[in-house]
A and B are shown apart, each in its own frame.
Chain A
Amino acid sequence: MIALILFLPVVLSLTGLLAKNKLVNRSNLFVTSAAYVLVVVLKIFSLNFLILPDWLLIYFSFDSIGIFFLSIMTIVFVAVSIYSIFYFKEHHLNAERESVYVAELLFFLAAMSGVILSTHLALLWVFVEATTLTSALLIYFEKRKSSLEAAWKYVYICSIGIALAFVGIIILSIGSRDLNSLFFTDLYNNAKKINPFWLKISFAFLFVGLGTKVGVAPIHAWLPDAHSEAPSPASAMLSGTLLNSALLGLIRVHEIFIKAGEQHFSNFFFLVTGFLSLFVSSVFIVRTKNYKRMLAYSSIENMGILFIGISLGKYGIFAAMLHTLSHSFAKATLFLTSGNILYLFKSKKFDDVKGLINVDSKTGWLWVISALAIMGMPPFPIFISKFFITVALWKAGLSWLAILFFLFLVIISFGMFSSVYNMTFGDKADNKTESAPTWNAYVPQVALLLILLLIGINMPDFVSNLINNAANFLK
């Protein structure tokens, strides 16, 4: 099954590049989606059907938290593949460009699966760097001047960050010299034997490196540019899955600290950068004039919330896992819908978009409802996770921080919703495109919102088990 997840996208993207055929491209997207869904469903109900060669099995495995992140990624990817068909039509891509797009998307997907499944710290690093390289071309896909700038900043800043993370890995291997292994299981089982001094120094590097990919302040410089310049479906992938997979790397490193009994040290880093991210995004979300950038700042905010949750122990971690899932779906919905808006108005500026609901009521409602979902209106599950994190902050004796947290959330929600409101209601501006988007441009978002509603109102048992198991990984 691991082979299916890792190699199928690579093989299919190569065939797609060779064939340069529209049908092949679409079937590639479909086959990959189907394979991922199949694997995730089988894994959630713990069935195995393929046996791998041993040498590969050492390096990749499904664990409780991996399967959780993989399920999120699968659902977002399915939504993105359906939406991509609309993107092809919208931009009148020829077969060759289409196959380039599909190949880049599938390579990107395979790299992220590698991050999620790796059992070796340095191998995880290899795949994190691979996600940077594969997604950089996706960001530059539309070949504008601004997207070139975004892609360059992205690939360069992230490569430097990831290089520093490798310094962290080498330093960690000094601390665990007796162990002479960087497999996570070895590191966890012998965490107490690792020299705490080297462990802490290595964390500083790993935190900066992987944190750059997660996009938390103050190392978020690439994120608004890249998210706003990528094609909308690719933005959805970046925000909904890439940030998560880098976060998973950090969670796995954090686990070493918990096992070594040094979690106070790493918790402090998570808490401080979490609040810093909230601060930065609350400033910029009010200031920005571009709605895709607004969504990108909202991603920084939500990564900050996740970091705060992770630093708070048991309740916080459960809330953080729930938040990861809900943020991915809600943010993917928003980015995909922003693609519709871009199609209708041909501009990313707030000022050019007015009266969305009169131009295309379906897009308008999707935009408002998904904005409500990301802000955490009940019954959407982000309400639950934000509420839990506030409670966890309070319980940890950090009541001032809880109030501050709440204040930041209010500012961000105000900034975001006032912009969304101004775009959606009121007199309509000149829309540049007459025809409404096709069904592909609505169905994925509606499905994601329905999943979110289901989780928020009545969470199915297998979902709560999945989240609980993932949260139990960190203890």
Chain B
Amino acid sequence: MNDILIILLGTSILYVFSVSRLEAYVKTLALQGILLFLLVIMDIKEINWLNITFLIFETLILKGIIIPYFLLTVIRRNEISREIDPYISQFYSILIGSIIFIFGFLAAFWASRLDAGIKPLYFGISIVMIIASLFLIINRKRIITHILCYMILENGIFLLSLSVANEMPMLVNLGVLLDLFVGIFLFAIFFNKIQEMYDGNKIDVLTELKD
């Protein structure tokens, strides 16, 4: 069951590579949040209510509902629906995506031989998510897409931490969550301001500062 969930997460990344409608991105984000929630719930071995509540809040409520909903309202309010022509065309993006997948699986194979405690499938897909999100950030032009891809990066890092299964202290977890939340909030504020001050919302408009 866990493997199916992980494979679904991987598929969601390929889906992001192939779509250009922004709402599709947001729905993928929500889906990823829910998948992460299911993964976390299946991994629970002992009942520690504080921990469980925290994990539910982090994955299902924050990553699955609040942040996607928030970003969706930002998108609808600014009336942008599609990503514009990326620097590298859709076809080659998917090709590059597949290469990233191959690399991710090789990395997973290699890492699990070095350290028996790593879960290979988790590790591989999380590496794919991290590299793919960085590629998407470089390739896409809209600022809102950059925010969405940042969330994919964060989801990838969350999955990576699941693959290792070392627990952090609660204080640290809370801090990480707070940073993520405030970060997304701040990104959205700046995005709205850029939308107001500049005509477009492409990253190309930000060219005032240079030497």
Q: Give residues in A with beta carbon < 8 Å to B.
A: 59, 120, 122-123, 125-127, 129-130, 133, 136-137, 140, 145-146, 148-153, 155-156, 159-160, 163, 166-167, 170, 173-174, 177, 180, 182, 195, 197-198, 224-225, 228-229, 284, 287-290, 293
Known: A123-B172, A177-B117, A284-B211. A170 touches B206 (CB 8 A): no
Give chain B residues whose Cβ lies under 8 Å from the Cβ of A129.
Answer: 179, 183
Shortest distance between the CB of B123 and any CB in chain A (Å): 9
**A120 close to B183 (CB less than 8 A):** no
Contacting residue for B117 out of A120, A145, A174, CB 8 A? A174
0/1 string, B167-209, CB within 8 A of A gives 1: 1110110011011001100110010011001100000001011
Give the interface SS of chain A, mostly helix, strand, loop or mixed: helix
C-alpha gap A190/B208 in the complex (Å): 49
Write out the residue numbers on chain A whose beta carbons fall within 8 Å of the beta carbon of B183: 129, 133, 155, 159
List the 10 closest pairs (A to B, CB-CB), nearest first. A126-B175, A129-B179, A122-B172, A173-B166, A225-B209, A149-B206, A146-B208, A152-B190, A288-B211, A170-B161
A-B CB pair tally, cutoff 8 Å:
112
For B118, list chain A residues within 8 Å (CB). 174
| Interface mask (B113-131 → A, CB under 8 Å = 1, otherwise 0) | 0110110000000000010
A151 interface neighbour in B182, B190, B198, B211, Cβ under 8 Å: B190
Decide if B61 is an interface residue (CB 8 Å cutoff). Answer: no
Interface residues of B in 143-170 (CB under 8 A from A): 143, 146, 150, 153-154, 157, 160-161, 164, 166-169
Task: Assess whether B137 is interfacial by the CB under 8 Å rule.
Answer: yes
Subset of 7 A-B contacts with CB under 8 Å: A59-B169, A126-B176, A127-B175, A155-B187, A156-B187, A166-B157, A290-B211
Cβ contacts under 8 Å, A174 to chain B:
115, 117-118, 164, 166
Question: Is B175's CB under 8 angstroms from A163's CB?
Answer: no
- Tell whether A148 pairs with B193 under 8 Å between CB atoms, given A137-B186, A198-B115, A288-B211: yes
- Please pick, from A140, A225, A289, the residue contacting B190 in the complex, using a CB distance under 8 A: A140
B150 contacts A148, C-beta separation under 8 Å: no
Residue of A nearest to B153 (CB): A163
B184 nearest in chain A by CB position: A159
